């Protein structure tokens, strides 16, 4: 879907969220959940499928949400991930059953759970999410939907076929700071003016391969059954082509998703450069450095979006910058970064300060009288208006999980349903193709639709 609105004037994001909910038969309808002794009517019983590092982050973010109870955990690393996460949940009052085989979990927990959080490696997402939906369960699936676009498409088709909820883990779409920037600064105030350029990055320092306790090795037959050739590959799956999509998918996907969200548009082309420039290609099959440029066609005109992901240097961390002829928005999931800068030629922003859209900049000390201008071409740095919204101390993923559970209860619509997650998968997976092709690639007119 392009940046166009539907015939009722609803913008693309709202339209997709609305139709996803209606298509799943969940237009604020009451739900019936699996119950146990003493449970409240809207309590939700959950299983965690994939208890590695990301699964543990999601578990920590979800276990404190009122009314959410973990009843099962599944992971193939029984002696490490599975037992550790199960014990942690039990310590916080979530009595749970453990499984190595997800099919056994779905069979034995039938009628006892309502939803599954899928946090397995990317190449397993489609099979796991589809099986869970076909078992009658709503699914929160970590991004990327899949490392293969065909499988991501199958996930969208399964959601439509089963009518179950499928939330994709682009958690910034539920972050109150990002929602404030989209709803208030961009849509309502148009505070940036005519948007022209986007810059974004995720710079991460060089890291050694992940290891593992020698006494807790997964048996070779279990590894092979689940698509891994060794413990080294199991622990570092993100770097292998048949298992993950590399850093542009692992890291860049979160931010490139924001490009299309804030523009209400999908790109028309992408050109990219990248390579395995630092690590050994035997252990790092995907590019360790990627730089990409998108072209977006919006109602106001063309917007060019640059993005880079580095895995050898952490300078300036990660953020997204949206630039227009009246201002600049720089935002990051990290709470330490987030400001709006007014161009000197833009109208005063007093109105937006009074409405609480932005905070007034701190007063700068006056420069000494007679201080020389070093260069006639010098442009003074614009004042920084702070974004007045915070996460209130919540973990980054918690609002997105809250949105998912509230959608299950019929109280909200999904912020990132399958259709939107698929659009992002199309945008991001195309970058790896562009690097390999060594030329500009166009996006087909219907490439973002299923």
Inter-CA distances, 350 with 324, 341, 353, Å:
19, 13, 5
- Please name the helix (run of DSSP H) or strand (run of DSSP E) that holds residue 405, with its range, or none: helix 398-408
Query: Residue 383: what pLDDT?
Result: 84
Residues with Cβ < 8 Å from 253, sequence gap 6 or more?
Answer: 143, 144, 170, 245, 424, 425, 428
Is the pLDDT at 139 greater than 50? The verdict is yes
Tokens of 280: 């050994």
Query: Residue 342: what pLDDT?
Result: 96
Q: Is residue 76 part of a domain?
A: yes
Say if CB 116 and CB 47 are below 8 A apart. Answer: yes
Is the pLDDT at 2 greater than 80? The verdict is no
- Average confidence (pLDDT) over 291-305: 97
Say if CB 206 and CB 247 are below 8 A apart. Answer: no
The rounded distance, in Å, linking the Cα atoms of 253 and 381 is: 30
Tokens of 428: 């991001």
Residues with Cβ < 8 Å from 136, sequence gap 6 or more?
Answer: 162, 164
DSSP 84: H
pLDDT (tens digit, 9 = 90+) per residue, 361-409? 977 654 555 555 567 666 667 889 999 999 989 999 999 999 999 999 9
Tokens of 18: 């609305």
Walk across the sheet containing 166-168 and list its strands.
97-99, 68-74, 44-49, 115-118, 138-141, 166-168
Query: Residue 8: what pLDDT?
Result: 40
The rounded distance, in Å, linking the Cα atoms of 272 and 283 is: 22
Q: Is residue 422 part of a domain?
A: no
**What does the radius of gyration of the chain's CA atoms come to, in whole angstroms?**
23
Query: Residue 1: what pLDDT?
Result: 40
Helix %, strand %, coil % for the chain, to 5? Answer: 35, 20, 45
Q: Is residue 96 part of a domain?
A: yes
Domain with residue 113: its CATH number is 3.40.50.720
The residue with greater pLDDT, 265 or 22, is: 265
Number of structural domains, the chain?
A: 1
The rounded distance, in Å, linking the Cα atoms of 311 and 270 is: 21
Q: Is residue 99 part of a domain?
A: yes
The rounded distance, in Å, linking the Cα atoms of 298 and 262 is: 11
Say if CB 383 and CB 363 are below 8 A apart. Answer: no
Distance of CA 433 to the CA centre of its chain: 21
- Average confidence (pLDDT) over 101-111: 98
Confidence of residue 32 (pLDDT cuts 50, 70, 90): confident
Q: Is residue 58 part of a domain?
A: yes
The residue with greater pLDDT, 336 or 91, is: 91
Give the domain extent around 99: 12-173+401-417
Tokens of 342: 């007014």
Query: Residue 20: what pLDDT?
Result: 47
Tokens of 83: 């037992």
Distance of CA 316 to the CA centre of its chain: 20
The rounded distance, in Å, linking the Cα atoms of 92 and 391 is: 23
- Which runs of E-coded beta strand occur in 232-288? 267-275
Is the pLDDT at 5 greater than 70? The verdict is no
The three-state secondary structure class of 313 is: coil
Is the pLDDT at 29 greater than 90? The verdict is no
Q: Is residue 39 part of a domain?
A: yes
pLDDT (tens digit, 9 = 90+) per residue, 43-54? 999 999 999 999
Inter-CA distances, 48 with 16, 35, 190, Å:
27, 18, 41
Residues with Cβ < 8 Å from 218, sequence gap 6 or more?
Answer: 76, 77, 78, 79, 231, 234
Is the pLDDT at 335 greater than 80? The verdict is no
Share of the chain above pLDDT 90, in %: 84
Q: Is residue 255 part of a domain?
A: no
């Amino acid at each position: 879907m392009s940046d166009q609105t539907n015939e009722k004037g609803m913008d693309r994001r709202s339209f997709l969220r609305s139709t996803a909910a209606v298509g799943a038969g969940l237009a604020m309808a009451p739900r019936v959940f699996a119950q146990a002794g003493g449970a409240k009517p809207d309590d939700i019983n959950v299983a965690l499928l994939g208890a590695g590092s990301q699964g543990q982050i999601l578990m920590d973010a979800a276990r404190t949400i009122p009314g959410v109870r973990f009843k099962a955990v599944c992971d193939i690393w029984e002696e490490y991930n599975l037992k550790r996460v199960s014990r942690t949940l039990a310590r916080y009052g979530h009595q749970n059953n453990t499984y190595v085989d997800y099919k056994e979990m779905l069979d034995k927990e039938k009628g006892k759970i309502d939803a599954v959080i899928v946090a397995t490696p990317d190449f397993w997402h489609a099979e796991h999410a589809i099986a869970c939906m076909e078992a009658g369960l709503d699914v929160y699936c970590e991004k990327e939907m899949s490392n293969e676009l065909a499988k991501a498409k199958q996930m969208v088709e399964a959601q439509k076929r089963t009518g179950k909820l499928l939330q994709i883990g682009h958690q910034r779409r539920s972050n109150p700071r990002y929602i404030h920037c989209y709803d208030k600064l961009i849509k309502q105030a148009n505070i940036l003016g005519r948007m022209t350029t986007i810059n974004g990055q995720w710079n991460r320092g060089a890291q050694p391969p992940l290891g593992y306790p020698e006494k807790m090795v997964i048996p070779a037959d279990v590894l092979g059954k689940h698509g891994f050739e060794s413990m080294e590959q199991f622990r570092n799956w993100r770097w292998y082509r048949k298992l993950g999509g590399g850093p542009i998918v692992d890291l860049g996907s979160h931010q490139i998703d924001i490009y299309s969200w804030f523009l209400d548009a999908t790109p028309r082309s992408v050109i990219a450069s990248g390579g395995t420039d630092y690590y050994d290609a035997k252990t790092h099959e995907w590019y360790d450095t990627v730089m990409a440029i998108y072209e977006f066609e919006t109602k106001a005109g063309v917007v060019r979006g640059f993005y880079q992901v580095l895995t050898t240097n952490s300078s300036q961390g990660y953020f997204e910058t949206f630039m227009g002829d009246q201002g600049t928005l720089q935002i990051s999931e990290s709470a330490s970064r987030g400001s709006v800068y007014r161009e000197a030629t833009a109208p005063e922003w007093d109105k937006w300060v009074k409405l609480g859209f932005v905070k007034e900049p701190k007063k700068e000390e006056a420069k000494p009288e007679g201080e020389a201008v070093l260069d006639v071409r010098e442009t003074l740095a614009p004042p920084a208006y702070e974004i007045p919204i915070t996460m209130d101390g919540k973990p980054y993923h918690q609002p997105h999980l809250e949105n998912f559970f509230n959608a299950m209860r019929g109280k909200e619509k999904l912020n990132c349903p399958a259709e939107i997650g698929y659009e992002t998968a199309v945008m991001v997976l195309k970058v790896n193709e562009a690097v390999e092709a060594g030329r500009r690639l166009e996006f087909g007119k219907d490439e973002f639709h299923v």
